[in-house]
Chain A
């Protein structure tokens, strides 16, 4: 699980998208949520979260060099240095759509498909659980740890 702390497990996301100034990480897993899987390859990184209420892989978090935010609404960002957009595909019977955090050299897309009713709490849980981690902080840690540059 790419936790929000400096180290190899998170830095490999930065390696996947070398231009990205931030990488997504798991800050604290809310009650009822669990980490499902991580897939990382040259050019992109994705991970999924399971929820006991929203189901398996209810949320997908993807890091890519860029993303298409055309038609998405701008909303208040949670992280400094990032702009946030939201695109809702459906409100009922399921709350589904995507949120985008756009920053220098990269973009994180959060895709969700949540059951109506609990979706407000689940959506809030998602953004409590996932945060952005600075590439610079990762690089500093690796330099101290291994003497090598990210």
Chain B
């Protein structure tokens, strides 16, 4: 049984006859209950927090002038261990340990960090690169500051037989090597089995360096323990928080980063969320149309619903915070480069993004446009991940795979006229977003659509629809049919508003492959009109440009400074 709204919409929907799944058995999540995909702090996370708090408290005590008296037992413990290790020294072992000690040298660490940095640049993993540089800077600063605050002596009552530099606590070489290896692990090694194997490999040089420094008597065991916490645990936490594998996976296979892995815990969470929030039982879930989608993870779901467990197919799109970030950068770049292309603001949260798409589907449906019926969206993780669920257009094919006859052309152009009249713009018209079923045209993917767009944006919609249609027929035929729905001046305005950058990249690629210069042919048929400039200057654009230029200059200066501070120069 459909909801009231769903039932009402199904009767008036332009997509007549499509199945509307029922929603029953929904369950409200009680206060305090975890969401379907919680992100709690793990036991190891709590343990790390406890250790870090203890270290911080010790530093504060030392800084406040309590001296080493409260730590006498620790000092004695350290010396006892070192003296025991000193008893193991031999003429054979000492040269080996002196060689292993070089693992913590500035040149080893600098080499590892530069190699990581260059690899990340070559792989264009700028987010990982920024986090790596940031973590390197922070950890280096924490190590050097705490070293000055504590001002601990090198081990006493043990003969120091290796080189050392600066105060003993925390062990700077161990922290530096640990940080560099963790950087490689979390920015270059794919998560899962490969990373788990690599952890053992990275453990070898760390253990070797620790053994060497204890053997040579240059560090106390507690200096090394704290260095491991700072140098290894801090980067792990930072990379997990700022470049989580599920959102920024390390992969050497081609694919779009926006697509999330929907297996494992996330897959289970999607099933739970659909059941609790929409009353749908998930039977199967398959990614679909990944090539045409860069802003979300599209999915085809097979669900059952109602007391009789009727099976249906529904379409869904999974949105995460990474999609929000790419949307923001994309819009900022376009606003600076062209000024006019993006006449709407960015979304403040992923919840707003998915709410907007849901809203646009309903607004377009209300305007009589043939868009998929929205069943609403479900919350996977609050403010992090949402899944919008819509009707699956069974039997529909993409326009480029359908016969584009006069009826289809007329229908498609009437939809643009309908959007003009309703004060809407789709903003992403291309073959992948225009479907055909039984000779009727359907529009999908309205996430970029706008209510009350600029006239220029509406004109661009017309051009993109004409080009999409011309790919499957001819410029002459599309122009001739367009004159039945639009005035020649309107068509001329649309063509004058269009530029290469106003055409979606997928459509642009297809036009290039087609090779007929369809934009030129359409312009030749329409009345002559001077191109409409897409460069629109405003205070906002000037301010944005200046801010970006100033930030860029500051970033370059800071980068040079940071590279030096972080031991890379």
Binding site for B on A (CB under 8 A): 7-9, 11-12, 15, 39-42, 142, 145-150
Least CB distance from B219 to A in Å reads: 13
* Assembly CA distance A11 to B151 (angstroms): 10
Contact between A12 and B151 (Cβ–Cβ < 8 Å)? yes
A147 and B80 CA atoms in complex are apart in Å by 13
Question: What count of chain B residues pass the 8 Å CB interface test?
Answer: 21
Interface digits, B153-168 against A, CB 8 Å rule (1 contact, 0 not)? 1101100101111111
Is there an interface contact between A15 and B166, defined as CB atoms closer than 8 Å? no
Given A8-B151, A8-B153, A41-B166: A146 touches B72 (CB 8 Å cut-off): yes
| Contacts of B149-199 to chain A: CB distance below 8 A | 151-154, 156-157, 160, 162-168
Nearest-CB residue, chain B, relative to A142: B156
Q: Closest Cβ of chain A: how far from B107's Cβ, in Å?
A: 16
Question: Of the candidates A12, A41, A42, A147, which one forms a contact with B153 in the assembled complex, judged by CB atoms under 8 Å apart?
Answer: A12
**What residues on B are CB-neighbors of A7 within 8 Å?**
67, 151
Q: Are A145 and B69 touching (Cβ within 8 A)? A: yes
B83 CB to nearest chain A CB (Å): 11
Q: Which of A8, A41, A146 contacts B164 (CB 8 A)?
A: A41
- The complex places the Cα of A40 from the Cα of B166 at a distance, in Å, of 5
Please give, as numbers and ranges, the residues of chain A lying within 8 Å of B167 by CB-CB distance: 8, 12, 40
Q: Are A42 and B160 in contact (CB under 8 A)?
A: yes
Known: A145-B67, A145-B69. A15 touches B163 (CB 8 A): no
Closest A residue to B152 using CB positions: A8
Instruction: Identify 7 new A-B residue pairs, CB closer than 8 A, beyond the known A145-B67, A147-B72.
Output: A8-B151, A8-B153, A39-B165, A39-B166, A42-B163, A148-B156, A150-B156
A142-B67 Cα distance, complex, nearest whole Å: 11
CA distance A148 to B155 in the complex (A): 10
CB distance from A88 to the nearest CB of B (A): 32
Q: A residues within 8 A CB of B163?
A: 41-42
- Distance in angstroms from A127 CB to nearest chain B CB is 25
For A145, list chain B residues within 8 Å (CB): 67-69
- Asked whether A148 lies within 8 Å of B164 as measured between CB atoms, the reply is no
B240 CB–A CB distance under 8 Å: no
Give the docked Cα–Cα distance between A145 and B152 (Å).
Answer: 13
| A-side contacts of B153, CB under 8 Å | 8, 11-12, 15
In the bound complex, residues from chain B placing their C-beta under 8 Å from that of A40 are 165-167
Task: Kindly state whether residue B27 has any CB partner on chain A within 8 Å.
Answer: no
Tell me which residues across on chain B come within 8 A of A147, comparing CB atoms: 72, 76
Residue of chain A at shortest CB distance from B72: A146
B79 within 8 A of A: yes
| Distance (whole angstroms) from the CB of B61 to the closest CB of chain A | 14
Decide if B75 touches A15 in the complex (CB within 8 Å): no
**Chain A contacts of B168 at CB under 8 A?**
12
Shortest Cβ distance from residue B21 to the other chain A in the assembled complex, whole angstroms: 71
Q: Which of A8, A40, A42 has the most CB of B within 10 A?
A: A8
B:71-89 near A, CB below 8 Å: 72, 75-76, 79
In the bound complex, how far is the Cα of B157 from the Cα of A148, in angstroms?
7
Between A and B, 25 residue pairs with Cβ closer than 8 Å are A7-B151, A8-B68, A8-B152, A8-B153, A8-B167, A12-B151, A12-B167, A12-B168, A15-B153, A15-B154, A39-B166, A40-B167, A41-B164, A42-B160, A42-B163, A42-B165, A145-B67, A145-B68, A145-B69, A146-B75, A147-B72, A148-B75, A148-B79, A148-B157, A149-B156
Interface centre among A9, A40, A146, A147 (most CB of B within 10 A): A146
Q: Which residues of A contact B152 (CB under 8 A)?
A: 8
> Chain A residue with minimal CB distance to B161?
A42
In the complex, the answer to whether B156 meets A12 with C-beta atoms within 8 Å is no
Given A8-B68, A8-B151, A145-B69, residue A42 in contact with residue B164 (CB < 8 A): yes
Q: Which residues of B contact A149 (CB under 8 A)?
A: 156-157
Q: Whose C-beta in chain B lies nearest to the C-beta of A2?
A: B151
| Shortest Cβ-Cβ A-B pairs, 4 listed | A41-B165, A148-B156, A9-B151, A8-B153
Closest A residue to B159 by beta carbon equals A18
Write the B500-539 contact mask toward A (1 if CB under 8 angstroms, else 0): 0000000000000000000000000000000000000000
Whole-angstrom CA separation of A150 from B160 in the bound complex: 12
Q: Which residues of A contact B157 (CB under 8 A)?
A: 148-149
CA distance A148 to B76 in the complex (A): 9
Within the complex, the shortest CB–CB distance from A56 to chain B, in Å, comes to: 17
Nearest CB on A from B94, distance (A): 15
User: A12 vs B168: C-alpha distance in the bound complex, in angstroms?
Assistant: 9
* Cβ contact within 8 Å between B68 and A12: no
